[in-house]
Chain A
Amino acid sequence: MLPDERGHFGIYGGRFVPETLMTALLELEEAYIKAKADSKFHEELDYYLQEYAGRPNPLYYAEKLTEYLGGAKIYLKREDLNHTGSHKINNTLGQALLARRMGKDRIIAETGAGQHGVAVATVAAIFGFDCEVYMGDEDIERQAINVFRMKLLGTKVVPVSSGTKTLKDAINESFRDWVTNVHNTYLMVGSVVCAHPYPVMVRDFQSVIGKEVKTQIMEKEGRLPDYLLACVGGGSNSMGLFYPFYEDKEVKLVGVEAGGLGLKTLKHGASLTAGTRGVLHGSMCHILQDDDGQIMPTHSVSAGLDYPGVGPEHSFFKESNRAEYVSITDEEALEAFKLLSEQEGIIPALESAHAVAHAMKMAPKLDPSEIIVICLSGRGDKDVQTVIKLLSEEI
C-alpha cells in the first residue's frame, strides 16, 4: 500500500521541510493514525459531513449537456452543493476535528481561490479556533468575495506580497508562520500537497467524493463509469474522486490541468503535463521550474489552479500510467463556464470548468453507452467578477 511509512509514493512525496517542522509532522502523523483507527472520530466526522456540510450530495445526470454534446452520458458530482460551495469543506472538517483532538487553539492556512480559505474560516468559526489565512495579493484582488466571506466568519486574512503574490507564496508564508508558532498552531493544508502526512491525510478526507460516486453510479447505472474527470491544481478533488477507484482498472482517470494561455507560452499551471521532477513545499513532485531549479511563475484564469507544483500521488499516478493528465486553456474553460450555465443552469467554479471543458472535447467522440463522471468541485459565484471582466464585450 502507498505511501510507505515515510510518505513516499514511489520516488514522489516524502518530507522535505526545515528541521523545526519535522517533530510537528511526526506528531501530526501519529495523531492522524490514532484518529483514523478510532470509530468515534469517524462517527463525529460523518455527523458533521451529513448534518453540517450536507452530504451526500447528488450525482446528477446532466441530460441536456449530454444531448448537446451528443456522445457519452455525463454525470456531475455536485460538490458545488456542499456548505461553503466546494469540496474543500470535506477536508477542513476532518482536519478541524483532528486539530481539536491535538489540543491546538490556532489554525493557519493558505488559500488561492479562497475556497479552502472559506472552508477553513468556517470550521474555525464552528469549532472556536483563532484563525489566520494567508492569501496572495493578486488572489485577494481577483477573489474579493471570498476575502469578505472569510472576514465575516471571523478570520484574519493576511495579504502576501512576496514572490508572485499567489498561492505558492501564500504557502511559503504559512510555512514561515508554522515554523514560528509551531507549539500552539495547526497548519491546515488545503490540498494533497506538502510534506507527509498531508498528501495522504487530505486524500483520505476527500475520498468521500469517490466513495459516494461509486455507490451512486451503481444505483443509477448498475456499473462503474468509464471515465472520471476532475481538475488538478494541487489535486485534492481529483484525488478524492480517483482514489476509491484506484483498483478498478477499467475506470479511466483523467486529470485536467490549467493550460492558461497555452503550454507554449509558459503562462500556465500544468505541472504534470509540462513540468519536471523537483521538490516544492515539502514533497517531491512534478513542478514548473527553469533550468536552474528556480520555481517559475504560473498563470491561470482560475486562482485555484494557479500553482507550480502538484500532489505527489498524482505524480505517481502519472508515471505509473494509472491516470492521464491533460490541459485546458483559459479560453476553453470560459467556454465551458458559459455552456454549463446555459445548458444545465449550473454556474461552475472556473477550476471545475476546466474539467467540463475537457468533457466537451471527449464526450462527442464517445459512444452513448459510455459514462463520464465529472467532479464539479465548486460553484462559480466567486468567479462572476472575473468573468464579467473577461467577457465585458459580450455582456
Chain B
Amino acid sequence: MNKIDRKFAELKSQGKKAFMPFITAGDPSLKHTPALIEKLESSGADLLELGIPFSDPVADGPSIQRSSLRSLDSGTTLGKILDTMSQIRAKADIPIAFMSYYNVILRYGIEKFVKDAVEAGVDGTIIPDLPPDEAADLISVARDNDFATIFLLTPTSTDQRMEVVSKASTGFIYCVSLTGVTGARKQVSEMLAPTLDKIRKHSDKPVAVGFGVSTPEQAEAVAKMAEGVIVGSAIVNVIEANADNPEKMLDEVGRFTKKLSDAVKKA
C-alpha cells in the first residue's frame, strides 16, 4: 500500500483531516529544503506537496511564480532534488508528492522519473498541466511502481471530466477550490461546496482541497468539507519574507504551519 493511502486511512480511522503544506524544493536554495521539511513535519504537516520549479508555471499565481524563480536562480534541477531526497528522508517520514509541470518530467524521461522518484522515497506526483487524457504512459509506469498519480478536478469540471479524472487518480483527488491560479484569497470560494458534492457522486477516494486557502480560519472551514487541506502560497510567502535569515525562516514557517495544522485538526 502506498504511503499516501496509508496516511489517509490512518487519519480517517482517527476521525481527523490531513494538512498538506506546499513548498518549492530549492526555495530559497536546496540546502534549506531538508530542514524546512523536517520543520513542517514536526509542526503538524501530515503530507507534503513538494514543488519542482519550472520556468513557465501557468497554473500558478505570483507567490509560487516567484518561489519557482528563486529556486531556479539558485540552480535547482529535478536531478538535484532527487539527490537531496536522501537527506530529506533522513529527517522526515511524511508522505511526499512531487508537483511538477509536465515538460520537466518529459525531459527527464517518464519511466526514469517514476523509478528514480520511488527509489528516492517520493510517493506520488501532481502535474497540473497533464490531464489524464494525455497521461497514459505515466499512469502505466506509476501503477507498476505503486506511485500515486494525483489529478485535479475543478469547479468547471463536467460530470464526464469528474468520471475520467477520479478514475485516474490514486492517493487522493486534488480539488481546486476556485477558477483561477494559486494564491491567497480573502475567503473560501463559494464554488467549493458544490464542486465537492459533485466529486462525491463519482468517487469515494480522499479529496484534498487547494488553491486560495491561506489562513487558519479558511483551513478549518475547508477541513470540515474535505479529507485534506493544501496551503501553498501563504507558506511560500513566509519563506520569501525571511529568505535572508534561515533560522528565523524555519521558526516562522514552523509557527505558521502549527496554526494551520491545529485549525485543520479542530475541524
Q: Which residues of B contact A78 (CB under 8 A)?
A: none
Cβ of A346 within 8 Å of any chain B Cβ, yes or no, is no
- Give 12 new A-B contacts, CB below 8 A, not counting A291-B107, A292-B104: A16-B102, A19-B154, A176-B59, A179-B180, A278-B106, A279-B102, A281-B56, A281-B58, A292-B79, A292-B107, A293-B78, A295-B56
Interface hits, B130-161 → A, CB 8 Å: 130-131, 133-134, 151-158, 161
> Are B176 and A19 closer than 8 Å at their CB atoms?
yes
Residue of A nearest to B153 (CB): A19
**Which of B65, B108, B152 interacts with A18 by CB under 8 Å?**
B152
8 interchain residue pairs of minimum CB distance: A293-B107, A293-B104, A180-B180, A20-B154, A294-B55, A292-B77, A19-B152, A175-B58
Which residues of chain B have C-beta atoms less than 8 A from A281's C-beta? 56, 58
User: How far is it, in angstroms, between the C-alpha of A172 and the C-alpha of B56 when the chains are bound?
Assistant: 7
A293 & B103 in contact (Cβ 8 Å cutoff): yes
Q: Which B residues touch A23, using CB under 8 A?
A: 156-158, 161
Instruction: Find chain A residues with CB under 8 A from B216 CB.
Output: none
Cβ of B128 within 8 Å of any chain A Cβ, yes or no, is yes
Q: Which residues of A contact B102 (CB under 8 A)?
A: 16, 279
Q: Could you tell me if B107 and A19 are in contact, using CB atoms closer than 8 angstroms?
A: no
Within the complex, what minimum Cβ distance (angstroms) separates B190 from chain A?
13
Residues of A within 8 A of B155 (CB): 20
The chain A residue sitting closest to B180, CB to CB, is A180
Count, chain B residues at interface, CB 8 A:
39
Q: Does A163 contact B (CB under 8 A)?
A: yes
Contacts of A347 in B (CB 8 A): none
CB contacts (< 8 Å) of B55 on chain A: these are 163, 294-295
A76 to B157 alpha-carbon distance, docked (Å): 47
Q: What is the bound-complex CA distance between A345 and B107, given in angstroms?
A: 47
The CA of A22 and the CA of B151, in the complex, are separated in Å by 13
Is B131 in contact with A20, judged by CB distance below 8 angstroms? no
Cβ of A168 within 8 Å of any chain B Cβ, yes or no, is yes
**Complex CA–CA separation, A16 to B56 (angstroms):** 13
CA distance A101 to B264 in the complex (A): 46
The answer to the question of A264 belonging to the interface, with a C-beta cut-off of 8 Å to chain B, is: no
| B121 CB-CB contact with A under 8 Å | no
Residue A17 at the B interface, CB < 8 A?
A: yes
Does B122 interact with chain A (Cβ within 8 Å)?
A: no
Interface residues contributed by chain A, number (CB under 8 Å): 38
Question: Are A294 and B72 in touch, CB under 8 angstroms?
Answer: yes
- Most chain B beta carbons < 10 A, residue from A20, A175, A176, A294: A20
Provide the residues of chain B in CB contact with A163, threshold 8 Å.
Answer: 55-56
The contact string, 1 if C-beta is below 8 Å from chain B, for chain A 269-293, is: 0000000011111100001010111
Whether the Cβ atoms of A279 and B128 lie closer than 8 Å is: no
Point out residues on B near A: beta carbons under 8 Å: 54-59, 61, 65, 72, 77-79, 102-108, 128-131, 133-134, 151-158, 161, 165, 176, 179-181
Of A16, A168, A179, A287, the residue contacting B179 (CB under 8 A) is A179
A273: min CB distance to chain B, Å: 19
Q: Report the minimum CB–CB distance from A57 to chain B (whole Å).
A: 36
**Is A183 an interface position by the 8 A CB rule?**
yes
Which residues of B are found within 8 Å of A180, using beta-carbon distances?
A: 179-181
Q: List 13 A-B contacts (CB under 8 A).
A: A6-B133, A18-B58, A19-B156, A19-B176, A22-B161, A179-B59, A180-B181, A183-B179, A280-B103, A291-B107, A293-B78, A293-B108, A295-B103
A176 to chain B: which residues have CB within 8 Å?
A: 58-59, 61, 180-181
A255: which B residues are within 8 A, CB to CB? none
The listed residue with most B CB atoms (<10 A of its CB), out of A23, A169, A282, is: A23
Enumerate A14-60 residues with CB–CB distance to B below 8 Å.
14-24, 26
Please judge, given known A-B contacts A172-B58, A280-B103, A293-B104, whether A16 and B130 are in contact too, CB under 8 Å.
yes
Chain B residue numbers with a CB within 8 Å of A172 are 56-58
A261 at the interface (CB under 8 A from B): no
Question: In the complex, how many angstroms separate the beta carbon of B18 from the nearest chain A beta carbon?
Answer: 21
Indicate the member of B55, B78, B165 with the most A CB atoms within 10 Å. Answer: B55
A278 contact set on B, CB distance < 8 A: 103, 106-107
Inter-chain contacts of B107 with A (CB < 8 A): 278, 289, 291-293
In the complex, which residues of chain B have a beta carbon less than 8 angstroms from the beta carbon of A181? 179
Instruction: Please indicate the chain B residues that have their CB under 8 angstroms from the CB of A18 in the complex.
Output: 58-59, 128-129, 152, 154
CB distance from A371 to the nearest CB of B (A): 41
CA distance A146 to B114 in the complex (A): 47
Q: Chain A residues near B65: list those with CB within 8 A.
A: 162
